Amino acid sequence: MFALSKRSLIKLNVNQEEYEVFIRPSDILLFTLREQLGLTGAKPGCYNGDCGACTVLVDGLPVKSCLMLTAEAIGKQITTVEGLKDAPIQKAFIEQFAFQCGYCTSGFLMVCHALANRHPNPPDIVIDEWLQSNICRCTSYEEIGNAIRKVLSGTCK
């Protein structure tokens, strides 16, 4: 049985690199990524799983890192926006002007990237369902939808 009873040194796999970090068992993943690893792409927003600004991928699936313990992520593959490295969705966001202030962008990018990987040809209802996990206060929803559709149609690589 794996156990963490106090502040301990653990290994995390983030963006295909192994990191050693000191964590409290009660630390949340968002905090560890930002404060310990300096990966500030995942944004703190509501801390309550509502806004999606902190979304990262865990084993390829989108997860709100404000609602995941760092301890849960041990042994998982974590991907942050820093790990996308010129993914098609990033190019599409630029081409489609899919952001304004940019605070929500990394969260939307992670959801869109996961969607494109898991459902290469999804119906509109699936696209809508995935995108409804995130909030954009600048209301760039139309452009964000255009960006993901561009990637899914293969016209942005």
Angstrom distance (rounded) from CA 145 to CA 111? 12
Within 8 A by CB and 6+ apart from 97, the residues are 140, 143
Angstrom distance (rounded) from CA 118 to CA 108? 15
Strand partners, 18: 13
Nearer to another protein, 13 or 95 (CB): 13
Angstrom distance (rounded) from CA 96 to CA 145? 9
State the minimum distance, in angstroms, from the CB of residue 149 to another protein.
17
State the minimum distance, in angstroms, from the CB of residue 8 to another protein.
10
State the minimum distance, in angstroms, from the CB of residue 157 to another protein.
25
Q: Which positions lie near another protein, rule CB under 8 A?
A: 1-6, 24-28, 31, 47-49, 52, 55, 61-64, 66-69, 71-72, 111, 129-130, 132-134
Nearer to another protein, 41 or 52 (CB): 52
